[in-house]
Amino acid sequence: MKALVIGGNGFIGTHLVSALQRERMDVRVFDRYPSKFVEPSKTVEYVIGDLGNHGALSEIVNDVDWVFHLAYTTLPKTSNDDPVYDVRSNLIDTIQLLQECSKAGVNKVVFISSGGTVYGVPKSVPIKESHPTDPFCSYGITKLAIEKYLHVFYHLNGLDYVVLRVSNPYGEGQNPHGKQGAIGVFLGRIAKGEPIKIWGSGEVVRDYIYIEDVATALLAAARYRAKDGQPRIFNIGSGKGISLNELIAEIRQTVEVDVQVDYTPARALDVPVNILDIELAKERLGWQPFVDLGDGLARTWNWVKALDPVKQITLI
């Protein structure tokens, strides 16, 4: 069996690649950049490129059984700045990818969608997969559109697929000086002795899931065999909500250093609460999260502290 991981040098991708290697699968990684934190494996085939290079797609999907599509060029909070770019670089390039997967006879595509944006403001929590999808950022809209195109390609060409609507992943390998991922960014600022920045009052509630649990969910999704009419879209999260203020309290217990917090005006794009119902994934995929928040925070903090200070500076 051979797997292609698009975005395999990123945060989620590097953990998935390690999980695939533990399963003794052949792995090909396609990414725009090398990994910032993980050394290349001698047993993995690395291809540096861009999904926008449509001529390269037929080559990277050749002789592949599973395709994991993890790459995305935009973030929720910036996607509305240039929705045309979001559509061109994510939706259109993914449609081209699906065409090549169909031609190459790929067995399955597993796509990382967004449990935090596709639903919009929840009408009830925890949020089930059947909840209305009303995203109000371009990021969520294009994620949802890709979900729909995956079903089109399954219906027309028999290209099997699974969609994972992931909540808020965190853990080792998440850039502590990046712009996405509250836990990673918070710990990165603490490591530099800088205050944490909170948008709003800190009462926004989110569902955080440890990265290794996301990797096992991706493997379970690839192995899952759905029949016509059976679900192919699953929420992946902890199933538990925690406010930013509660998260900061947990972090204070973990890091055991002074933690300063700066509160700034709330953002229009932040929904007040997002907690995913993960019962369908438990039932159909045979998956469940195992690492609780306290343990995950401790592992992540130890990794952040161990980073080479020179490397940390170059990533800012």
Per-residue pLDDT of 240-265, as tens digits, reads: 999 999 999 999 999 988 999 999 99
Examine residue 265 and say whether the peptide bond preceding it is cis (omega within 30 degrees of 0): no
Active-site residue identified among 139, 154, 161, 170: 139
Residues in the chain: 316
Q: Which domains does the chain have, with CATH numbers?
A: 2-169+211-236 (3.40.50.720), 170-206+239-274+291-314 (3.90.25.10)
pLDDT category at 312 given cuts 50, 70, 90 is very low
d(CA 88, CA 15): 28
pLDDT tens-digit profile of 213-237?
999 999 999 999 998 899 999 999 9
Based on the residue annotation, tell me whether 263 is a catalytic residue of this protein: no
Burial class (CB in 10 A: 0-12, 13-18, 19+), 301: buried
Residue with tokens 């001698």, as numbered in its chain: 42
Residue 311 pLDDT grade (very low, low, confident, very high; cuts 50, 70, 90): very low
